[in-house]
Structure 1
Amino acid sequence: MSLLELTPSGLYCPQADVFIDPWKPVDRAVITHAHADHARWGMKHYLAHHHSEQVMRLRLGQDINLETLEYSEPIHINGVQISLHPAGHIPGSAQVRLEFQGKVTVVSGDYKVEDDGLSTAFEPVKCHEFVSECTFGMPIYKWQGQQQIFKEINQWWKTNAKQGRNSVLFAYSLGKAQRVINHLDTAIGAIFAHGAIWNTNQALIANGVPVMDIPKVTQELPKSAFKGAMIIAPPAAMGSPWMKKFAPYRTGVCSGWMNVRGARRRRAVDTGFVLSDHADWPGLIQAIKATEAEKVYLTHGSTAIFERYLVETFGIEAVSLNTLFEGDNANFTEE
């Protein structure tokens, strides 16, 4: 007997009468993380990790009915034990573990297996059923270690500064932006944040997440303040009038999709850095094998390809689920 069923409102655990990351308003929602395709407005009651609290209130409203847990802290609802475990995706991201009458199901949300130094590192949770994303579930997706990527980012910034150009780097405002900020070399120059990123930083800092506190870009700042600087902005700022104050500048973007030939050109940026907060192909396999799950449900991404691989290579029963989770979107939406 499965502990989950897919309904028009999302993944549902009937025994506990709770939904995990529902996409329609419900009475009780367990939220894996605060990205917009997982944490939506309109739930009567939310349950999430402590580090997600302030950013969820920032995005969904200060008055939402939100209960928070620490990792591995169990609660019981109608005989179902529910606990949250590190997913390593962004600060506060969690896998949801459900246990009932000896059956264990884990919903991973989004995850990555590389420790980014900011999010609590991914921890595999043994289970009978595992719900896994596969945003980058194709063999072409294999990430370099993040230290190499950050070395490239800092060198790009340093070169731009020497050439008298400012650097504008696009990264999602929750998770990736803070990861990048914490790995920038402050000896190169000043670092500034777009307002959306600065607001997110303040919410995370208020929750005890060790994000570097950098100044916000404001109208009052003179153009000279940005000389040789690094400006971190969300993808929505690409090509907007807001960019004019930084000229002359070079642009870069951080995304797993930069692994695909032509992605940088299609996004009209100067440089692309292959940096994702999702597991690559080897990471997905590593995570799934570590769970020892007998059955795996796959959401968003290349589900058919990855499903076939798991069945044929490991003999794991794999099933694709048609969900509304977007993941690291190729169109560079907010999340």
Structure 2
Amino acid sequence: MSQPLLVFNEKGIYCQQADVYIDAWRPVDKCIVTHGHADHSRWGHKQYITHHNNVPIIKHRLGDITVSGKTWGETFTINGVTFSLHPAGHIVASSQVRVAYKGEVWVFTGDFKTENDGIAEPFELVKCNTFITECTFGLPAFKWTPQKEVFNDINRWWAANQNEQKTSILFGYSLGKAQRLLKHIDPTIGKIYTHGAIENMTEVLRPMYDFPTTTRVTRDTKKEDLLGNIVLAPPSAHGGTWIRKMVPYVTASASGWMTFRGARRRRAIDRGFVLSDHADWDGLLRTVKETGCEKVIATHGYTDIFAKYLREEMGLDARTEKTQYEGEQAEIENNKTEDSNK
């Protein structure tokens, strides 16, 4: 080929042959969207293409858009280029994008996670020549504990707070992390309350996924109702007036960044649970190896360190590209359009 199948420009990741972007960060005519987080699904594109389970998610967040939904592995061809979506395991309905043209195959992971969390469609390995991968947690320090052990810790934490008649407030992003928490926290311990942003998103997803019963926190919710129970809230709710009505409470955050104790202190969180919706160091390396790729492009995360390791330790042709994706740091909620009291 005279030029790469996919290139990075000022608008996003671009396939010139098909005149299609993937997860563009500026408005374009046609964009394939990997998942519903705000750094990957931006407002303003004329046409969106995504997995069909992601359609209601991005419509909820972006409003009246023109969007078509695809099934896993369904191929669609644009000007001779064949595209297909494959599970990324990151959050519900998250996709990798496979792009094939004249015998060459590229894969863009978007954000991905190799551990099967029991709710997101499990990650599918896709063989390719060139692999464009995130490396949000591309440092050897990031090695995840199996989620069963993490959720056992979360449930014990909640039960201990209940014994002390305190409200447990657990922070997680309203799309993805919150539903993973809902799926695995133990509803027999007590009642599960939710911040409005989480409840709104969970209502969008309930027709497609199985979740336990939740109760929305409203202006009429009394402090006495919350004592001993758990409240799921987005990180943006911490420190606001919304949380003051819940005293006495204990806070915790579920995030890969909780690997570092300093992150918990900076966020003024009582307890940190290391639970990420991204691949850890071992998951990243294993995936790169198993794709069989010859070339790797590292985006958003510890790109320089990760690419250097791939070159020097694995002998791969690896380089970095700058994007406007920020991985887990960018999954902070914008609740201006999601009234928590409705």
TM-score bracket, shorter-length normalisation: over 0.9
Partner of 1:153: 154
Amino acid at match of 1:73: E
Inter-partner Cα distance in structure 2 for 1:309 and 1:170? 33
The answer to whether residue 207 in structure 2 is matched with residue 194 in structure 1 is no
2:27 pairs with 1:28: no
TM-score, normalization by structure 2? 0.95
**Secondary structure of 1:262's aligned partner:** helix
Distance in 1 between residues matched to 2:321 and 2:41, nearest whole Å:
19
| Other structure's SS at 2:36 match | coil
Code of the residue aligned with 2:168 in structure 1: it is S
1:88 aligns with 2:89: yes
Classify the secondary structure of the residue corresponding to 1:225: helix
Q: Is the 1:235–1:332 Cα contact (8 Å) retained in structure 2?
A: no
Which residue does 2:143 correspond to in 1?
142
Q: CA–CA distance in 2 between the matches of 1:204 and 1:293?
A: 35
Q: Give the fraction of aligned pairs with identical amino acids, expressed as a percent.
A: 49
Q: Distance in 2 between matches of 1:213 and 1:17?
A: 44
Match of 1:334 in 2: 333
Unaligned runs of at least 5 residues, structure 2: 335-342
Shift of residue 210, structure 1, vs aligned partner: 2.3
Task: Work out the CA distance in 2 between the residues paired with 1:332 and 1:44.
Answer: 24
Q: Which letter does structure 2 place at the counterpart of 1:283?
A: G
Q: Deviations over 1:230-267 (max 9, x none)?
A: 00000000011101221110000011011013111110
Deviation at 1:163, TM superposition (A): 0.6
Q: Give the letter for the 1:291 counterpart.
A: T
Shift of 1:223: 2.5
CA distance in 1, matches of 2:190, 2:141: 35
Over 3 Å counting, the alpha-carbon distance change for 1:58 and 1:67 in structure 2 is: same
In structure 2, the CA distance between the partners of 1:96 and 1:332, relative to structure 1 (3 Å rule), is closer
Structure 1 residue 33 displacement after superposition? 0.4
Q: 1:47 to 1:272 in 2, by over 3 A?
A: same
The aligned amino acid for 2:233 is A
Structure 1: gaps of 5 or more residues: none
Greater mean alpha carbon deviation, residues 40-49 or residues 261-270: 261-270
The residue type equivalent to 1:292 in the other structure is G
Kept after mapping to 1: 8 A contact 2:109/2:132: yes
Answer whether contact 1:127 1:293 (CA < 8 A) is retained: yes
Inter-partner Cα distance in structure 1 for 2:205 and 2:5: 33
Deviation at 1:333, TM superposition (A): 2.9
Structure 1 equivalent of residue 339 of structure 2: none
Question: Paired residue for 2:216?
Answer: 216
1:10 aligns with 2:15: no
Superposition deviation, residue 213 in structure 1: 4.0
Alpha-carbon offset, residue 332 of structure 1: 7.1
Letter in 2 for 1:201: T
**Residues of 1 paired with 2:162 and 2:139: CA distance?**
37
Runs of 4+ in 1 over 6 A off after TM superposition: none
Question: Could you tell me how far 1:187 is from its partner in structure 2?
Answer: 1.2
